[in-house]
Chain A
Amino acid sequence: MFINWQLRELNLKIVYYGPALSGKTTNLEQIHTRVDPRRRGELVSLKTQEDRTLYFDFLQLELGKISGFLPKIHLYTVPGQSYYEASRKLVLRGADGVVFVADSTRSRIRDNLEAWNNMRDHLASLGIPPTTIPLVIQFNKQDVQGAIPAPALRQVLRVNGQPCFEAIAVNGQGVFETLKTIINSVVKNVQREVA
């Protein structure tokens, strides 16, 4: 969180984390497409030639004045491929909230679990207890044949009370609900810190 007093801006950083090809960039692309261009910045994507995230994607949203402040939401994705381990940790630095995008495809259970554990390790190494940071889980690709149902995925990841959403990000389903919920969780967390 960063507050610019002169401009009365409240800046919040949310990171979309998850295994490769789970739909993290797709979430940001959908948000970029659906939000009024006057209320969002450019979608910055550092991609490989194969169109895979190399470092991160970045998108800023502006919510308009709330209680005298201008909240600005900075959305980042991490590169999902295991190869880019070092970059993922760098992107997580300074996160106020995390969205974990899981792939519901049956063959990706292990990848989800690895990414989940990897995220928790990185958060812990950055001094952020994984149990205290606002976290929302999105079970993406619920439209694929034989998709693992959300309750089963919750069990696999041992989700402990965090909000979960089923999604088909490629057509926008579940994208906004996820975004809205993580922002709400972050705002409530800010309120707790202030109180």
Chain B
Amino acid sequence: MVNHNIDKRHYTLRSGITIFPSQDEEIDQILTELTQKVPAQFILLVDVTGQVITARGTQHKADLVALGSLVAGDIAASQEIARLTGEYQDYQMVLREGQTMHTIIMAAGVHLALLIQISNDVPLGWGRMLIRQAAYQLVDILNKPVPETEQTAPPSALAEFESEDIPDLFNDALDELWS
């Protein structure tokens, strides 16, 4: 089980949305319920630029970061196809039927995308309904007002990055990287 959730401070995703701790907890709850209800073998939540927000379930050998970039690419391509063919709708869903497992990729609003793997014993209609519900819930969470106490700015997010030494430290790290 992997969980990349962040529990103490709010964080801003590359797509521009900020997730606050209370939202983070709710997201966690929704994905836990989804995993149990469907049941899902594996769930990956990313933002539309491919940033991994959280993953849970049976781990594959797959590189999660690489998978995140592909999910984002897949959903972006699917949305463009829908636009070009005049059939665009929010909450695009892409289904891949496998011999033992089905993979569903679904846009959750304009900021997030979900990848879910379910056994092919699970009726597809059931899986799709629950995944769609979860996607709606995820969007509701992001749209809900956040308690004021959470909205206070955290200590300068990247204060450590203001140091003049940082570029040199990066240069040293890069030199080490290259053989």
Residues of A within 8 A of B (CB): 1-7, 10-11, 13, 34-36, 39, 41-42, 44, 46, 55-56, 58, 60-61, 63-64, 66-69, 71-72, 74, 76, 86-87, 90-91, 93-94, 176, 179-180, 183-184, 187-188, 190-191, 194-195
Which one of B31-39, B124-132, B143-151, B154-162 is at the A interface? Answer: B154-162
Given contacts A56-B73, A63-B174, A90-B80, whether A35 and B179 have CB atoms under 8 Å apart is: yes
Known: A63-B177, A68-B160, A180-B171. 4 other contacts (CB 8 A): A39-B177, A60-B66, A61-B177, A190-B161
Partner of A66, one of B6, B69, B170: B170
Given contacts A3-B11, A61-B177, A90-B77, contact A67 B166 (CB under 8 A): yes
Instruction: Contacts A41-B65, A55-B77 given; indicate if A63 touches B173 (C-beta within 8 A).
Output: yes
State in angstroms the CA–CA spacing of A188 and B168 once bound together: 11
One of B5, B70, B165 near A44 (C-beta < 8 A): B70
Number of inter-chain CB pairs below 8 Å: 131
Give min CB distance, B101 to chain A, whole Å. Answer: 21
Residue in B47, B80, B169, B173 whose CB lies within 8 Å of A86: B80
- Chain B residues lying within 8 Å of A176, measured Cβ to Cβ, are 174, 178
Q: Is the CB of B73 within 8 A of A5?
A: no
Whether the pair A184, B177 counts as a contact (CB closer than 8 A) is no
Partner of A187, one of B5, B157, B170, B178: B170
Looking at B12-20, B87-95, B114-122, the stretch in contact with chain A turns out to be B12-20
Answer whether A184 and B169 are a contact pair too, CB < 8 Å, given A6-B6, A13-B49. no
Partner of B174, one of A3, A4, A87, A183: A183
**Distance between Cα atoms of A97 and B29 in the complex (Å):** 35
Question: Per a CB cutoff under 8 Å, which of A5, A41, A184, A187 touches B11?
Answer: A5
Please name all residues of chain B whose beta carbon is closer than 8 Å to the beta carbon of A71 when the two chains form the complex: 170, 173
A191: chain B residues at CB < 8 Å are 161-162, 166-167
Question: Known contacts A58-B69, A90-B73: does B170 contact A5 (CB below 8 Å)?
Answer: no
Task: Using known A-B contacts A7-B4, A13-B14, A194-B157, determine if residue A35 contacts B178 with beta carbons closer than 8 Å.
Answer: yes
Q: List 16 A-B contacts (CB under 8 A).
A: A2-B14, A34-B179, A35-B177, A42-B63, A60-B66, A64-B173, A66-B170, A67-B166, A71-B170, A72-B65, A87-B77, A90-B80, A91-B73, A93-B48, A180-B174, A187-B166
B12 with A66: CB separation less than 8 A: no
Q: Is the CB of B12 within 8 A of A2?
A: yes
A184 touches B66 (CB 8 A): no
> Out of B69, B159, B170, which one reaches A184, CB within 8 Å?
B170
Complex Cα gap A186–B118 (Å): 40
Q: Is B167 in contact with A64, judged by CB distance below 8 angstroms?
A: no
Q: Are A194 and B174 in contact (CB under 8 A)?
A: no
Contacts of B96 in A (CB 8 A): none
Cβ 8 A contact of B161, one of A41, A60, A67, A87: A67
Shortest beta-carbon distance from A178 to chain B in Å? 12
